[in-house]
């Protein structure tokens, strides 16, 4: 049974010993971050701060900060189960006869049940405030790090519509609070919210677009904003797939957008297409501050929330943080999709230190000359994997989750001048080393065995391994050696 809402997930975490309540008053300005850091560094539990200073609303953080909690969020024993379900749908064959068609019906019915459902009302409407009654400071919004430009909503679901197709998008874009009713809207250049903004602006430069923001929902829905799925594919449909039950959506009070009915808090408003404002700095998941930049502004006209809402947030900073586990789940869950397009891919790893966009290791079953470079180019053109600054491609027999084996075999396989290539393209907005904002160079490292058909005419040595016969002989006398 899918979680009804965030508090049902909180109860589950508590039952599983994965959540601790903090009853002491702690300040959302810096102090909650420091407490959270100490707990996460010790692989500790989710924290429910019951008395954040200056607010009557409790704050939930680190709810997804371990593989176990991500599994609880998706109600699976292992993330591979979610991947397996995706594979099941991707593998669906076109039915040959009537019997095959009948066999497919339950699967199709299941697919149909994932589409979001519009309902009349929901818990997120229990309390409503309009206009001057709106005050974002009612909520315990964090200032995370000392040089942050202010307080930031860090775990929002930002809803917009493609002005041309009317299709919905949901993105997780942080929001700097400027005053009671105004925030920044940090959708980075290549993200879908930013694309909606640009398309609307091209049509009507002085207009505005409606925006709704939901904070906190059942775990699959709350996480859907970070999913790297293609434009115009509905994140709420994907959330329905993840939770195995349709997401119920309700209409906003003041515009034609819809938000999850079970959201803890909803902010409704608009973004002016001719207004930009300085956003940042913000202590980011690179472990450095992302510096000030110009971003659109979100004007809040209406707030609705549950009677006693929980404010869901996360802290980013030097890796690994909570978002590493969210990203790791995405890596595991989407691997079958990558493998469907590129069956030669055996495994993919994005170590925490690479903060997703800096390093991707790919193991492939190489079968033609230049194959490693083909995979690099494929990854640089695959959705948000375009941001990958360094790609290392190795042969299928390297255990890429074993970092020491990976480094050893990669370095042994290299003739650097021959095996490294540079390309230019879009960069992650947070990359502070790129020569320009959002644009720079990337590096591909071909650490596969080189073939004669790739111009390598020397012999390639075998890896050292003892033969089985000798091992068996020594096994037989091992005890007598008393070593």
Ligand X SMILES: Cc1cc2nc3c(=O)[nH]c(=O)nc-3n(C[C@H](O)[C@H](O)[C@H](O)COP(=O)(O)O)c2cc1C
C-alpha closest to that of 296 among 282, 277, 281 = 277
Who's near 53: CB < 8 A, 6+ residues apart?
25, 26, 27, 28, 29, 31, 140
What share of residues in the chain are helix, strand, coil (percent, to 5)?
35, 25, 40
Minimal distance, residue 453 CB to ligand X, in Å: 39
The secondary element (H helix, E strand) that includes residue 408 is: helix 403-412
User: What are φ and ψ of residue 379, in 5° steps?
Assistant: -65, -40
| Strand partners of residue 302 | 130, 268
Rounded to the nearest whole angstrom, what is the least distance from the CB of residue 191 to ligand X in the complex?
3
Closest distance to Mn ion from the beta carbon of 172 (Å): 10
Q: Which letter does DSSP use for residue 142 in this model? A: B
53-77 burial by CB neighbour count: b if 16+ within 10 A, else e?
A: eebebbbbbbbbbbeebbbbbbbbe
| End-to-end Cα separation, the chain, in angstroms | 54
284 included as an active-site residue: yes
Query: Closest distance between ligand X and the C-beta of residue 192, in Å?
Result: 4
Q: Which residue is nearest to Mn ion (CB)?
A: 192
Q: Which residue stretch of 48-56, 63-71, 131-139, 164-172 sits at the interface with ligand X (rule: CB under 6 A)?
A: 164-172
Q: What is the closest distance, in whole angstroms, from the C-beta atom of residue 48 to ligand X in the complex? A: 18
Tokens, residue 100: 């095959």
Question: How many chain residues bind ligand X (CB under 6 A)?
Answer: 21
Looking only at residues 320 through 349 of this chain, which bind ligand X when binding is defined by CB under 6 A?
Answer: 323, 326
Tell which one of 217, 227, 364, 375 touches ligand X (CB under 6 A).
227
196 is a contact residue toward ligand X (CB under 6 A): no
Q: Which does 316 bind (CB under 5 to 8 A by kind): Mn ion, ligand X, none?
A: ligand X
**Among Mn ion, ligand X, none, what binds residue 186 when CB lies within 5 to 8 Å by partner kind?**
ligand X
Phi, psi of 395 (to 5 degrees): -75, 160
Q: Tell me which of 138, 245, 284, 428 is the catalytic residue.
A: 284
**Listed ranges 189-197, 297-305, 433-441, 468-476: which one lies at the site for ligand X (CB under 6 A):** 189-197
384 contact choice in ligand X, Mn ion, none (CB below 5 to 8 Å, kind-dependent): ligand X
Query: Which of Mn ion, ligand X, none has residue 228 at its interface (CB below 5 to 8 Å by kind)?
Result: ligand X
**Residue 3 or 187 having the CB closest to ligand X:** 187
Nearest to 373 by CA among 298, 306, 423, 425: 423
Q: What is the DSSP string of 347-395?
A: EEE--GGGTTTTEEEEEE---STTHHHHHHHHHHTSGGGGG-SEEEEEE
What residues between 376 and 405 interact with ligand X by CB under 6 A?
A: 384
Query: For residues 149 and 30, what is the distance between their CA atoms, to the nearest angstrom?
Result: 12
Instruction: Specify the DSSP class assigned to residue 66.
Output: S
Tell me: does residue 358 bind ligand X (CB under 6 A): no
Instruction: Calculate the CA 422 to chain-centre distance.
Output: 27
Region from 68-76, 185-193, 197-205, 445-453 binding ligand X, contact rule CB under 6 A: 185-193
Which residues of this protein are in contact with Mn ion, per CB under 5 A?
A: 169, 192
Least CB distance from residue 135 to Mn ion, whole Å? 30
* Residue listed under structure tokens 């993105």: 171
**The token pair that represents 474 in the structure block:** 């020594």
303 forms part of the interface with ligand X (CB under 6 A): no
Applying CB under 6 A, among 33, 36, 169, 313 the residue interacting with ligand X is 169
| Number of residues written out for the chain | 483
Nearer of residues 169 and 255 to ligand X, judged by Cβ:
169
Q: Please identify which residue in 176, 221, 304, 314 interacts with ligand X, judged by CB under 6 A.
A: 314
* Contact positions vs ligand X (CB under 6 A): 154, 169, 171-174, 186-188, 191-193, 225-228, 314, 316, 323, 326, 384
């Amino acid at each position: 049974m899918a979680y009804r809402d965030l508090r049902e997930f909180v109860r589950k975490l508590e039952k599983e010993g994965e959540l601790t309540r903090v009853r002491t008053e702690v300040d959302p300005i810096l102090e909650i971050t420091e407490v959270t850091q100490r707990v996460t560094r010790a692989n500790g539990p989710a924290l429910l701060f019951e008395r954040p200073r200056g607010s009557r609303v409790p704050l939930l953080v680190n709810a997804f900060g371990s593989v176990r909690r991500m599994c609880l969020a998706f109600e699976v024993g292992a993330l591979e189960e979610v991947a397996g379900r995706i594979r099941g749908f991707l593998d669906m064959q076109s039915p040959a006869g009537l019997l095959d068609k009948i066999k497919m019906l339950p699967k199709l019915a299941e697919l149909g049940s994932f589409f979001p459902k519009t309902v009349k009302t929901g818990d997120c409407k229990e309390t409503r405030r309009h206009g001057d009654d709106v005050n974002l400071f009612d909520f315990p919004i964090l200032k995370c790090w000392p040089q942050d430009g202010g307080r930031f909503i860090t775990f929002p679901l930002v809803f917009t519509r493609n002005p041309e197709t009317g299709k919905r998008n949901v993105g997780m874009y942080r929001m700097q609070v400027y005053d009671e009713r105004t925030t920044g809207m940090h959708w980075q250049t290549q993200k879908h919210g930013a694309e909606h903004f640009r398309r609307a602006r091209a049509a009507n430069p002085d207009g505005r677009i409606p925006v709704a923001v939901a904070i906190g929902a059942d775990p699959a829905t709350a996480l859907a904003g970070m999913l790297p799925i293609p434009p115009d594919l509905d994140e709420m449909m994907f959330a329905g797939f993840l939770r195995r039950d349709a997401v119920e959506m309700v209409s906003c009070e003041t515009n034609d957008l819809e938000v999850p009915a079970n959201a803890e808090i909803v902010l409704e408003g608009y973004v002016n297409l001719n207004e930009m404002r300085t956003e940042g700095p913000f202590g980011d998941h690179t472990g450095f501050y992302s510096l000030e930049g110009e971003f659109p502004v979100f004007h809040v006209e209406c707030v609705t929330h549950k009677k006693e809402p929980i404010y869901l947030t996360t802290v980013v900073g030097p890796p690994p943080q909570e978002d590493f586990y969210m990203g790791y789940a995405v890596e595991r869950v989407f691997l079958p999709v990558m493998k469907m397009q590129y069956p030669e891919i055996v495994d993919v790893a994005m170590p925490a230190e690479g903060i997703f966009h800096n390093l991707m290791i790919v193991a492939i079953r190489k079968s033609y000359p230049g194959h490693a470079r083909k995979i690099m180019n494929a990854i640089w053109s695959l959705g948000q994997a375009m941001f990958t600054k360094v790609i290392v491609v190795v042969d299928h027999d390297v255990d890429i989750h074993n970092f020491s084996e990976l480094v050893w075999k990669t370095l042994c396989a290299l003739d650097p001048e021959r095996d490294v290539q540079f390309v230019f393209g879009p960069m992650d907005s947070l990359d502070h080393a790129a020569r320009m904002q959002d644009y720079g160079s990337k590096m591909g490292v071909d650490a596969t065995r080189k073939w004669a058909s790739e111009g390598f005419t020397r012999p390639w040595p075998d890896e050292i391994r003892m033969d089985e016969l000798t091992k068996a002989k020594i096994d037989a006398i091992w005890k007598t050696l008393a070593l």
